[in-house]
Structure 1
Amino acid sequence: MPSPARDSRSNDELIRANRGFYESLWADAHLMDPQRFNTWPLVRELVATAPRRLEVAPGLRPRLPLEDTCFIDLSHAALRQLRARGANTAHGMIGALPCASASFDLVCALDILEHVADDEGALRELARVAAPGATVLLSVPLHQHAWTAFDEFVGHCRRYEPDQIMTLLAQHGFTIEQSAVYGMQPKSSRLLELGQWFLVHRRQRAMWWYNRVFMPLGVRFQKPLQWRDGMGDTQGVDELLLRCRFSPSD
């Protein structure tokens, strides 16, 4: 179950924790092309009719094409590598996006909502910048009872119950059209604990293995996404990728 200490952290504390973890992580990592992820078949289909695109907090694992997509991230290390590859970038956070209202046809924000204290504020910002009818791709971890030390370590603030995230999205104009089981987190708790220890105590060695072995293997053995209508069955599912449609209420 989530710890009381986690719930009591302020937004500023969460921002500092996430900035510290990911700035350090991306400083030692390599940019991976969007075409290498199992999200690419869907993305390739969507970009054909979505010339105005935004991806929030991609780090060095962007899912949208580097060309003609606006990338916003808190990590300067990630932004430097994205810019070096010709991407359009801006420094910012999901709660205060430096973008005009109703300016994007496709918005991608994967593995983000669970990191911010004010997830409703984050969704309000996504709704503000999304054009009517825009496709919005989100991913969220599920089930509070599945909380582990790894969630704490990587800066998660919460896990969502399925009904909770459905209601929250609907309140901000997002309808879940499809979903797919998502994520590459190892199922072995022992392996996760070992990875955390090395990241803390043997960071350079850990990043060598991450960049050259674990991440390439994880990408190579990704399973194709199996899409189903709506939320689908979430029993035993650790994380979901959600394809949503934005329809403003006014």
Structure 2
Amino acid sequence: MPSPFAPTQPARSDADLIRTNRGFYESLWADARLVSPERFNTWPLVRELAAAAPRRLEVAPGLRPRLPLEGTCFVDLSHAALRKLSERGAEAVHGMIGALPWANARFDLVCAFDILEHVADDESALAELARVAAPGATLLMSVPLHPEAWTAFDDFVGHCRRYEPAQIEALLDRYGFHIERSAVYGMQPKSSRLLELGQYYLTHQRERAMWWYNRVFMPLGLRMQKPLQWRPGMGDTAGVDEVLLVCRKR
């Protein structure tokens, strides 16, 4: 049972979340560099899946796309991210996860990394992902776990919730997705002091913070990534901050 002293997850409207996410991510992507998908530890999995899925969609990648830039459709709220994705030859359109501008059963591979926790109406978001996913399509999704693990960082980056493992399993099942395998995921620093410093500089000295982010912290985080360790289904989630799920649409 969560501690009675654990931070609570705020109730937010879509308008509040859009405002928070735009305020944080639009300025972040305006100053950040695009990182190629090949540099992430998801690439071995993505390369395998993409080879068998010519119709691909990634939702809200910002400047951290995981799917191949060529041949993938990208949708994002950030005009700064869309501009930089387009400059690299990607097909990038403006839109939201709750109203995707594509026909039913359009894609064989759909990705939504670190997105669902930012959306007030996550059921509508999942309904849209299910709508554009063809029968048998693969859904790659990452979400933060355990509401009792909520921190000021979740507020800062515009999270609406963290999920109980059984909660996200049931939600995916409701919209026709079965979890085939999962892996511990995420690049969030473990040090609360480091997170506090990052938040302070991003708020008060953004130009300096972005210099360090682009030239030091992001390259260091990429270098320190470990290969993903896969396990069947949801797996053991004790102490897991974030999980990457490979799901199949029934």
Match of 1:175 among 175, 178, 183: 178
Match among 12, 34, 49 for residue 46 of structure 1: 49
Note the C-alpha offset of 1:16.
1.1
1:190 maps to a residue whose letter is: R
Q: Partner residue of 1:112?
A: 115
CA drift of 1:3 comes to: 3.0
CA distance in 2, matches of 1:45, 1:192: 34
With normalisation by structure 1, the TM-score equals 0.97
Which residue of structure 2 lines up, in the alignment, with residue 195 of structure 1?
A: 198
* Gap regions ≥5 residues in structure 1: none
Q: Letter of the 2:72 partner, please give it.
A: T
Residue deviations 1:112-138 (CA, integer Å, cap 9, x gap): 000000000000000000000000000
Q: Give the 3-state SS of the residue equivalent to 2:139 in structure 1.
A: strand
Corresponding residue of 1:77: 80
How far, CA to CA, are the matches of 2:86 and 2:26 in structure 1?
16
State the AA in 2 paired with 1:161: E
Secondary structure at the aligned position of 1:184 is classed as coil
- 1:95 matches 2:117: no
* 2:13 aligned with 1:10: yes
Conservation of the 8 A alpha-carbon contact between 1:2 and 1:158: no
Q: Is the 8 A contact 1:178 1:231 kept in 2?
A: yes
The reply to whether residue 164 of structure 1 matches residue 167 of structure 2 is yes
- In the other structure, the counterpart of 2:33 is 30
Look up the SS of the partner of 1:135 in the other structure. strand
- Return the letter of the residue paired with 1:96: A
- 1:211 alignment partner AA: N
Which range moved further: 121-130 or 16-25?
16-25
TM-score (ref. length: structure 2)? 0.97
Aligned residues: 245
Summarize deviations over 1:59-93 as a string: whole Å, max 9, x none.
Answer: 00000000000000000000000000000011001
1:135 pairs with one of 128, 134, 138: 138
Aligned counterparts of 1:48 and 1:150: Cα–Cα separation in 2: 36
The separation in 2 between residues aligned to 1:107 and 1:18, in whole angstroms, is 22
1:164-199 Cα shifts (integer Å, max 9, x gaps): 000000000010000000000000000000000000
Aligned partner of 2:187 in structure 1 is: 184
Separation in 1 of the partners of 2:128 and 2:110? Answer: 11
Mapped to 1, the partners of 2:93 and 2:7 lie a distance apart of: 33
- Unpaired runs of at least 5, structure 2: 1-5
SS of residue in 1 equivalent to 2:138: strand
> How far 1:94 sits from its partner (Å)?
0.4
Written as runs of structure 1 = structure 2, the 5 A alignment for 1:199-238 is: 199-238=202-241
What percentage of residue pairs aligned between the two structures are identical?
78
| CA–CA separation in structure 1 for the residues paired with 2:20 and 2:208 | 22
**In structure 2, which of residues 142, 147, 150 is the aligned counterpart of residue 144 of structure 1?**
147
